[in-house]
Amino acid sequence: MADEKARLLVVEDDLDLSDMLNAYFTTQDYEVKTAAWGAEALKIAADEAISLVILDIRLPDINGYEVCRQLRAQRRTQSTPIIFLTEKRDRVDKLQGLELGVVDYITKPFDIQELRLRVRNAIQRAAQQALTNPITELPEAPLVDEKLNHLVLAEHDWSVILVRIDGLDTLRERYGFVAADELLRAVTLMIRNAARDDGNEDDFIGHLDPSEFVIITTAEKSAAIRARIETRIRQSIEHFYRPNERESDTPSDFLKLHTGMIERGTTEYKDADAIKTALMATVTPSEKLKE
C-alpha cells in the first residue's frame, strides 16, 4: 500500500465516537472503515488490507480481546498493528492486551492528537518490519533490490547466488502453515551457516520472494557457498516429508531445489532487474530433493 492511503479499521459501538474518529482521520488523509460489532470487524479485516485497527474492548457481540485473538490467528492480519481503545485502566486488562500482541493501549477520554501520533508511529513501525520476512527475518525484495542496484556501480568482483525451493504451496496444503514455516526457517539456517563457514563476514542474504533466497558474496567464495547449500539441503529435506511418504515405494517428490549464480565478469548490468533477469537465466532444471 505504498502508493495508497493507509487504511484504518475503527471498531467502536459508540456511534458518536466512531463517527468522530472517522471524520477526524479522514481529514488526516487516512481511509477509514468502521464496524460496531466484532464479527463485522473480522469480516472487513478478512476482505480488505488494513494498516491498523483501533479496537474497543467492549463490543455488543464478542469483546475486543476475542477480536484480537482471531485477528492474530489469521496470516493476513497476524502482524497488523492494533491499538486498544477502552475506558478500563486496570493493569491486568492492559497486560492481557499486550500478551495478545496489541501494540498500544489508550484510555477514554483521550487526546485525539495523542491518538493520531500513536497511530502514525505504529504504522511507521509496521512498515519498517514489513521490509523483513516475518518467518526467516531476512530482508525482503525492496532491500534486496537496493543491494543489487549497488552492485551495478561496484568495482570489485562480486557474485549473486539464487536458491529456490519449489513445492512450498503443496507442503502447506498437505501439512499446514507450521510445516511450511519450519522448512523456510531450516533452509534459512543452512544458508546462513554456509555463508558463515565459506563466505565473507559482510555477505548479504535476502529474499526475492518467500521461496527464493539470494546471497551476495565475492566471486572467489560463491562456488563453495553454493555447493555447501545444495549439499545441506539435499541431506536434510526428507525430514520435512511425513514418515509414511519417506518410506513409501513411491515417495512424494513435490519439494524441488533450483540454484543459479552469476558473477560480475565483463557483463554490464543497468539495474537490479537486469541482474535478476540474468540470474534467473542460470537456474538449474527442476531437481528432486528426495529420491
pLDDT digits (tens, 9 = 90+) for 95-132: 665 666 566 888 888 899 999 999 998 888 887 766 78
**Which segments in the chain show pLDDT lower than 70?**
1-3, 88-103, 129-130, 246-252, 285-291
pLDDT digits (tens, 9 = 90+) for 205-237: 999 988 999 999 999 999 999 999 999 998 888
pLDDT for position 239 = 83
- For 53, 64, 226, the CA distances from 284, given in Å and listed in that order, are 45, 50, 12
pLDDT for position 217 = 96
Cα(276)–Cα(69) distance, integer angstroms: 40
What lies within 8 Å, CB to CB, of 263 at 6+ separation is 157, 158, 159, 219, 222
The C-alpha cell that represents 74 in the structure block:
489469521
> Does the predicted model carry a pTM greater than 0.75?
no
In 3D space, the residue among 136, 271, 287, 120 whose CA is nearest the CA of residue 213 turns out to be 136
pLDDT for position 2 = 42
